[in-house]
Amino acid sequence: MSQQFDKTICVAMTGASGIQYALRLIECLVQANCEVYVLMSKPARIVMGMDTDLNVPSRTAQVQSQFSESYGAREGQLKAFGQEEWTAPVASGSGAPDAMVICPCTTGTLASVAAGTCNSLLERAADVVIKEGRKLIVMPREMPFSLIHLENMTRLARAGVIIMPPNPAFYNLPETVDDLVDFVVARVLDQLDVKQALMPRWGIEEE
């Protein structure tokens, strides 16, 4: 991690609906002075094109440039890596981020991480975070969950992984889809110990 940033967080996107959570999370992490590594599977690019009106770049360098410009990242603050870039820092324990979030997480990715297959940079990065004792948050986006899905979650939970399905609450009386997204992202930021002002904590008066 560069000394100019507070934390290094890896955000990995897979091919499940709910990419809005990841995009908002990346934006908030940049605003919170975190160094952000972005991993995006090929199915995630397809889903982004379906779930949003964004023009999804086909090349990793273009993703890095587009995200950096969109979220106002400083030079070197946001880095994107392709799924075959085995020289990326996240592929090694010596370059492990402080934390990693797989958002959204397909049940296929869930199974691969639980099995430790490491067939892509995303899977390897998750494996590294687990073995190095760093925080891994997995956000499975599926319903209903089968017994197979639940057993994979249980296996990961036993390894210290935080299982965090993106389930928004309604006690804050959301008025827009963005409000629902912000609720989930706020809870993720809390887990990452990154200061956020998106949503107050229950029963706590924020300064």
Tally of domains within the chain: 1
pLDDT, residue 200, reads 74
- Which residue range(s) make up the domain with 122? 8-191
Confidence of residue 204 (pLDDT cuts 50, 70, 90): low
Whether 206 is covered by a domain: the verdict is no
Tell the burial category of 144 from Cβ atoms under 10 Å away from its Cβ (0-12, 13-18, 19+).
exposed
Task: List, for residues 46-74, the tens digit of each pLDDT value.
Answer: 999 899 988 777 889 999 999 999 999 99
State yes or no: pLDDT of 41 exceeds 70.
yes
pLDDT at 207: 55
pLDDT at position 195 is: 92
The rounded radius of gyration (Å) of the Cα atoms in the chain is: 16
CATH number, residue 25: 3.40.50.1950
Cβ-in-10-Å burial (0-12, 13-18, 19+) of 104 comes to: buried
Helix 177-191 vs helix 19-31: angle between axes, to the nearest 10 degrees? 60
Residue 196 belongs to some domain of the structure: no
pLDDT band at 155 (very low <50, low <70, confident <90, very high): very high
pLDDT of 203? 64
- 205 located within any domain: no
**Phi and psi at residue 168, in whole multiples of 5°?**
-75, 155
Global pTM value: 0.93
1 part of a folded domain: no
